[in-house]
A and B are shown apart, each in its own frame.
Chain A
Amino acid sequence: MIYCPNCGTANRDGSSFCNQCGQRLGGGSKATCPFCGAENPIENIFCDACGAKLAPLVTPGVEEKEKPTLKGLSLPTKPAGDEEGVPDSEAAVPQEPSAPEGEEEIPDWLARLRASLGEASEPAEEPPATEEFAAEVPGEGTELPEEELPDWLRELRAQPAPEEAGEEQVAPAVEEFAAAVPDEGAELPEEELPDWLRELRAQPAPEEEAPAVEEFAAEVPEQESPAEPEAEEVAPPVATPALAEQPEAEAPTAGIPALSEGEQPAAEVEPLAAWLQEEGPVILELSEEEMAEGGKEAPPVALGPDVPAWLETLASGAAVLPEELGPVLPTPGKPTPEEVGLERAAIPSWLEVLRPGRKREEGEEAPAEEPVETEGMLEGVRGALRLVPNIDPGPDQFVRAVSAAATVTPAHAETLTQVLARSTASSVRPRTVPVPRRERGLPWLAFLLLLAAVLIPLVAPGLVPGGALVPSARSAGDFAAQVQSLPPGAKVLISFDYDPSVSTELDWPVREVINDLKAKGATLLVMSTTPTGPGLAARMGLADTATLLGYLPGQEMGLQRLATSFSGAFLVDYQGRSVDEAALGVRSLGDMALIITAASSQDTVRWWVEQVGSQLNTPICAIVSGAIEPSVRPYYSSGQLTGLVSGWVGGLAYRQAISPDASLDAQGKAAVEAQSLGHLAIVVLIVLGNLAYWGKRLFGGRS
């Protein structure tokens, strides 16, 4: 799915242009995340790197955002002329549905009503709201050819002008309806009238209505429609450019059900339906503006047969506002909502912030080009995000869309700032379970016990009976057998593949093996797959008794190369001297009698087995740290390693296998005793800990 950078519409993959707005899609551009700077495909909604949302930055266009979003939100206690109720031109304009909706749902009677209103306002002369509309509407004296006129205009031309027909004459198109609608002077039975009409009848004569409407017209701020030059020339809102271009289709009829033909709403007046009561104020507002222009001289409106009675009455200029619509337009002599005790609806601050086109409060800064960050996290949000400079300069449309998003973001971000500040202040910090006082010293007690178990044998060796006993290990025995079977002068490659951090554990078994190899008269070649390995080898005094080949780079790849071609693998040795391969008599690893790797990582042992052992028949033995012994042992079990020595214990087992009668020196005995006693201490601690846990769980009542 590709999202349009202009309008945000989701398009199918591979689309070149947006289905909604025609914007070119793709283009190889990338969107840079404004938060982390990572480049993302332009169709991404979220950033691949940090998860920040990218799509809203480009989705809403300016026009779409600036449209009033409070459609249907009415405040019944606010008079229509109140400035707070009409804070902005956009907010004051009735909610216009989009043209396609109007095309589908506009009833005929409303279209005819508009046509009549437009015709009635023509004598007022001035073009409607915008210049664009004025350019498209023909002038009064302009005569268009008949064939260029739309059908509805031809019908209007066929009708006599209201001035010509006189006030008493009714347009032919509505004769049938007029016949059905009772005359003004006719008296309907009282029981057939709705309540609001009965109240209307009880109210004063319609002559009093004109000044009230004029007052209302004077109260309406002029900036409601910037394109309108004068207040008295206010064009009916229905005559917007879009409406004028499509006279038959557009109308604010969202939610208005179409009346079927044959219905006679005027004859059988029923109480207003809920949907009509909601739409009533909107339509009434239009009629009032019209009335403000024409006053009582407004010509009779040509109404359709299915026009509600109250609309007909309002259109004729002889109506008094019904009770339900009273709060919308103030009526002289009628108390305002505040006077009758109604309170003005309080708009929450967060809703006020979100209202499009809201009036700025005093002291509030106008939207600036450069955002300002004043305090706290995301406070003064306009400057915090700085969307535009961080966007990768891709297509112009993308940058433009992001700029548009930046202008509408501050209000939302301000709200987000408030919410975040509130949540931060009241955030619940993770509760830490307090450790009981009697348990606080347990870790130190365990450590001291372990330290004592290790230190006592080192300081006073021989105190632990049997502590220096060495367990036998078959893998170490196999290692020893491999060394013992070497002929004098056999070439042995030893790779120091461990780092100094484990040298304490591995130095001793490695030294034991090397000493035995020297005793056997083997030719030692020493290398390393780690940069620190040659240094460890040199520290053992091998610089004089062995050939230090040095560091082999490439890890797994280096070993693969070494297995295939030993020649050229080492140009210089550890000390920078040239390696004389001819003098060494080694052309390949196959010439080696034994390969020994001393490793602290299981990967290194695996590389030797996989890259070298699988290609050669040369036996490979390993001296490894005890930490990786379980991971390496399967290679020994499968025969890929011919011998395995693991840590100190493995070294001791190897020593015992080489010379069963040899005894350890004092330092070696102390180390073995310390290790044995340390293991014993750990086992005791584990058992005691488990007993305490289960005892507390079974008898303590809590875990």
Chain B
Amino acid sequence: MSDLSNLIGIWVSALLTVMVLSYLLGDNPLYRLAEHLFVGTAVGYAVLVAYYSLLRPRLILPLLQAPLENWTLVVPLLLALLLLARLNHSWRGAGMAPLAFLLGVGIALAIGGALFGSILPQVEGTMLSVNPADGGWGVAVGNLMLVIGTVSALAYFYFTGQGDTTWGRLRGGFLKAWRGLGKWFIMVTFGAIFASTVMSRLSLLIGRLQFLITEIPKTLR
């Protein structure tokens, strides 16, 4: 039985892989069918997981088994029901309360986490020594490039006008030079991101081709 289900799984997987790859010929019903199957199964699976790992053990069972002890769970239940009210156009305003609660908590956490988890540590990470005596010339040049790249990339997004005074024109010229340098650093960064994406997607292609080449012959033996 297990072998049969495994066999069916392999063939269905291979068939769906070919259907998705048929998009190379253009948009077609086979690709659409595979796409809808993926989306549908993913959503259905996520709903089941959310129910069995969250709603049932944390909300439904406690309210059914000991409602007096777990009466506070009514609050999240009401908030969840109000969130569903957004599906109705007339009651959409009722869903603002839980949404505001979620957004408020989420944004508060994001701000705090970004400040102490990303911004300050990253700023600290750019305060590097450019003294060759600390780690050699290679490290010093690398650190220097990192500092220059960070500052110039930030200067690229500095849009304030230069002003008419002498100091303003001097500052404007200085910023213009930094902006030009920062633009090149940003372009190199985008190139690296693109190359990494290509490498990642190529890995996926190789994985699927390897599956078709190795697994399908096994089932035919």
A630-B189 contact, Cβ under 8 Å, with A502-B204, A557-B109, A610-B114: yes
Q: Is B22 an interface residue (CB 8 A)?
A: no
Smallest Cβ-Cβ distance to B89: which chain A residue: A37
Q: Is A638 an interface residue (CB 8 A)?
A: yes
- Which residues of B in the span 135-189 have a Cβ within 8 Å of any Cβ on A? 189
Chain A residues in 8 Å Cβ range of B197: 626-627
**From residue A383, how far is it (CB to closest CB) to chain B in Å?**
24
Query: How distant is the Cα of A532 from the Cα of B42 in the complex, in angstroms?
Result: 8
- Which residues of B in the span 190-220 have a Cβ within 8 Å of any Cβ on A? 192-193, 196-211, 213-214
**Interface flags, A542-585, vs B, CB<8A=1, else 0:** 00000000110100110010000000000110101000000000
Whether A606 and B118, one on each chain, are in contact in the complex, defined by CB atoms closer than 8 angstroms, is yes
Whether B116 and A610, one on each chain, are in contact in the complex, defined by CB atoms closer than 8 angstroms, is yes
Query: How distant is the Cα of A576 from the Cα of B57 in the complex, in angstroms?
Result: 9
A674-B117 contact, Cβ under 8 Å, with A551-B53, A638-B122: no
Q: Is B50 an interface residue (CB 8 A)?
A: yes
A611-B109 contact, Cβ under 8 Å, with A626-B199, A678-B206: yes
Smallest Cβ-Cβ distance to A614: which chain B residue: B117
Q: Is A607 an interface residue (CB 8 A)?
A: yes
Chain B residues in 8 Å Cβ range of A674: 206, 209-210
Query: How distant is the Cα of A607 from the Cα of B46 in the complex, in angstroms?
Result: 21
Smallest Cβ-Cβ distance to A578: which chain B residue: B57
**From residue A358, how far is it (CB to closest CB) to chain B in Å?**
42
Q: How many A-B residue pairs have CB under 8 A?
A: 136
Tell which of B24, B199, B208 touches A675, judged by Cβ atoms closer than 8 Å: B199
Whether B122 and A634, one on each chain, are in contact in the complex, defined by CB atoms closer than 8 angstroms, is yes
Query: How distant is the Cα of A648 from the Cα of B203 in the complex, in angstroms?
Result: 7
Chain A residues in 8 Å Cβ range of B54: 551, 553
Query: How distant is the Cα of A610 from the Cα of B24 in the complex, in angstroms?
Result: 40
Q: Is B91 an interface residue (CB 8 A)?
A: no
A550-B53 contact, Cβ under 8 Å, with A447-B24, A556-B110, A606-B118: yes
Whether B109 and A556, one on each chain, are in contact in the complex, defined by CB atoms closer than 8 angstroms, is yes
Query: How distant is the Cα of A607 from the Cα of B214 in the complex, in angstroms?
Result: 38
Q: Is A421 an interface residue (CB 8 A)?
A: no
- Which residues of B in the span 94-130 have a Cβ within 8 Å of any Cβ on A? 105-106, 109-110, 113-114, 116-118, 121-122, 124-125
Smallest Cβ-Cβ distance to B47: which chain A residue: A531
Query: How distant is the Cα of A446 from the Cα of B133 in the complex, in angstroms?
Result: 49
Whether A667 and B210, one on each chain, are in contact in the complex, defined by CB atoms closer than 8 angstroms, is yes
Task: Enumerate chain A interface residues (CB-CB to B < 8 A).
Answer: 37, 447, 454-455, 458-459, 499, 501-502, 504-505, 531-532, 534-535, 550-551, 553, 556-557, 560, 571-572, 574, 576, 606-607, 609-611, 613-614, 625-631, 634, 637-640, 646-649, 667, 670-671, 674-675, 678-679, 682
Q: Is B58 an interface residue (CB 8 A)?
A: yes
A557-B106 contact, Cβ under 8 Å, with A534-B49, A625-B200: yes
Whether B202 and A535, one on each chain, are in contact in the complex, defined by CB atoms closer than 8 angstroms, is no
Whether A638 and B121, one on each chain, are in contact in the complex, defined by CB atoms closer than 8 angstroms, is yes
Top 4 nearest A-B pairs (CB, nearest first) are: A610-B117, A504-B207, A610-B113, A638-B125
Whether A505 and B204, one on each chain, are in contact in the complex, defined by CB atoms closer than 8 angstroms, is yes
Whether B205 and A571, one on each chain, are in contact in the complex, defined by CB atoms closer than 8 angstroms, is no
Whether B202 and A556, one on each chain, are in contact in the complex, defined by CB atoms closer than 8 angstroms, is no
**From residue A81, how far is it (CB to closest CB) to chain B in Å?**
59
Chain B residues in 8 Å Cβ range of A613: 117
A671-B210 contact, Cβ under 8 Å, with A556-B106, A576-B52: yes
Whether B210 and A634, one on each chain, are in contact in the complex, defined by CB atoms closer than 8 angstroms, is no
Whether A637 and B125, one on each chain, are in contact in the complex, defined by CB atoms closer than 8 angstroms, is yes
Whether A455 and B125, one on each chain, are in contact in the complex, defined by CB atoms closer than 8 angstroms, is no
Tell which of A459, A574, A671 touches B206, judged by Cβ atoms closer than 8 Å: A671
Query: How distant is the Cα of A667 from the Cα of B213 in the complex, in angstroms?
Result: 11
**From residue B88, how far is it (CB to closest CB) to chain A in Å?**
14
Whether A459 and B210, one on each chain, are in contact in the complex, defined by CB atoms closer than 8 angstroms, is no
Chain B residues in 8 Å Cβ range of A535: 45, 49
Chain B residues in 8 Å Cβ range of A556: 106, 109-110, 113
Whether A627 and B201, one on each chain, are in contact in the complex, defined by CB atoms closer than 8 angstroms, is yes
Query: How distant is the Cα of A682 from the Cα of B110 in the complex, in angstroms?
Result: 39
Chain B residues in 8 Å Cβ range of A607: 113
Chain B residues in 8 Å Cβ range of A631: 193
Whether B203 and A504, one on each chain, are in contact in the complex, defined by CB atoms closer than 8 angstroms, is yes
**From residue B181, how far is it (CB to closest CB) to chain A in Å?**
19
Smallest Cβ-Cβ distance to A500: which chain B residue: B42
CB pairs A–B below 8 angstroms (19 shown): A454-B205, A501-B204, A505-B203, A534-B49, A551-B49, A556-B113, A560-B109, A571-B57, A572-B52, A572-B57, A607-B113, A610-B116, A611-B113, A627-B193, A628-B196, A640-B117, A671-B206, A671-B207, A675-B199
Chain B residues in 8 Å Cβ range of A649: 199
A630-B204 contact, Cβ under 8 Å, with A553-B54, A610-B113: no
**From residue B57, how far is it (CB to closest CB) to chain A in Å?**
5
Query: How distant is the Cα of A382 from the Cα of B1 in the complex, in angstroms?
Result: 68
Whether B206 and A626, one on each chain, are in contact in the complex, defined by CB atoms closer than 8 angstroms, is no
Chain B residues in 8 Å Cβ range of A610: 113-114, 116-118
Whether A675 and B121, one on each chain, are in contact in the complex, defined by CB atoms closer than 8 angstroms, is no
Whether A505 and B200, one on each chain, are in contact in the complex, defined by CB atoms closer than 8 angstroms, is yes
**From residue B175, how far is it (CB to closest CB) to chain A in Å?**
24
Most chain B CB neighbours (cut-off 10 Å) among A572, A628, A639: A572
Chain A residues in 8 Å Cβ range of B122: 634, 638
A505-B207 contact, Cβ under 8 Å, with A532-B45, A551-B54, A679-B199: yes
Whether B50 and A531, one on each chain, are in contact in the complex, defined by CB atoms closer than 8 angstroms, is yes
**Interface flags, B50-91, vs A, CB<8A=1, else 0:** 101110011000000000000000000000000000000100
Chain B residues in 8 Å Cβ range of A454: 202, 205-206, 209
Query: How distant is the Cα of A576 from the Cα of B56 in the complex, in angstroms?
Result: 10
Query: How distant is the Cα of A629 from the Cα of B49 in the complex, in angstroms?
Result: 29
Chain A residues in 8 Å Cβ range of B116: 610, 614
A614-B113 contact, Cβ under 8 Å, with A458-B209, A551-B53: yes
Most chain A CB neighbours (cut-off 10 Å) among B116, B192, B202, B213: B202
Query: How distant is the Cα of A640 from the Cα of B121 in the complex, in angstroms?
Result: 8
**From residue A463, how far is it (CB to closest CB) to chain B in Å?**
15
Chain A residues in 8 Å Cβ range of B24: 447
Query: How distant is the Cα of A60 from the Cα of B188 in the complex, in angstroms?
Result: 58
Chain B residues in 8 Å Cβ range of A647: 199-200, 203
Query: How distant is the Cα of A607 from the Cα of B206 in the complex, in angstroms?
Result: 30
Query: How distant is the Cα of A535 from the Cα of B196 in the complex, in angstroms?
Result: 27
Query: How distant is the Cα of A627 from the Cα of B194 in the complex, in angstroms?
Result: 8
**Interface flags, B3-44, vs A, CB<8A=1, else 0:** 000000000000000000000100000000000000000100
**From residue A689, how far is it (CB to closest CB) to chain B in Å?**
14
Whether A531 and B117, one on each chain, are in contact in the complex, defined by CB atoms closer than 8 angstroms, is no
Query: How distant is the Cα of A74 from the Cα of B205 in the complex, in angstroms?
Result: 78
**From residue B147, how far is it (CB to closest CB) to chain A in Å?**
12
A667-B118 contact, Cβ under 8 Å, with A576-B52, A627-B200, A678-B202: no
Chain A residues in 8 Å Cβ range of B196: 626-630, 646
Whether B210 and A458, one on each chain, are in contact in the complex, defined by CB atoms closer than 8 angstroms, is yes
**From residue B142, how far is it (CB to closest CB) to chain A in Å?**
10
Chain A residues in 8 Å Cβ range of B189: 630
Whether B214 and A504, one on each chain, are in contact in the complex, defined by CB atoms closer than 8 angstroms, is no
Tell which of B105, B200, B201, B211 touches A557, judged by Cβ atoms closer than 8 Å: B105
Chain B residues in 8 Å Cβ range of A501: 204
**From residue A633, how far is it (CB to closest CB) to chain B in Å?**
9
Smallest Cβ-Cβ distance to B117: which chain A residue: A610
Smallest Cβ-Cβ distance to B52: which chain A residue: A576
Smallest Cβ-Cβ distance to A674: which chain B residue: B206
Smallest Cβ-Cβ distance to B198: which chain A residue: A682
Chain B residues in 8 Å Cβ range of A648: 203
**From residue B129, how far is it (CB to closest CB) to chain A in Å?**
14
Chain A residues in 8 Å Cβ range of B211: 504
Chain B residues in 8 Å Cβ range of A626: 196-197, 199-200, 203
Chain A residues in 8 Å Cβ range of B199: 626-627, 647, 649, 675, 679
Smallest Cβ-Cβ distance to B193: which chain A residue: A630
Smallest Cβ-Cβ distance to B54: which chain A residue: A553
Query: How distant is the Cα of A458 from the Cα of B116 in the complex, in angstroms?
Result: 47
Chain A residues in 8 Å Cβ range of B121: 614, 638-640
Smallest Cβ-Cβ distance to B61: which chain A residue: A571
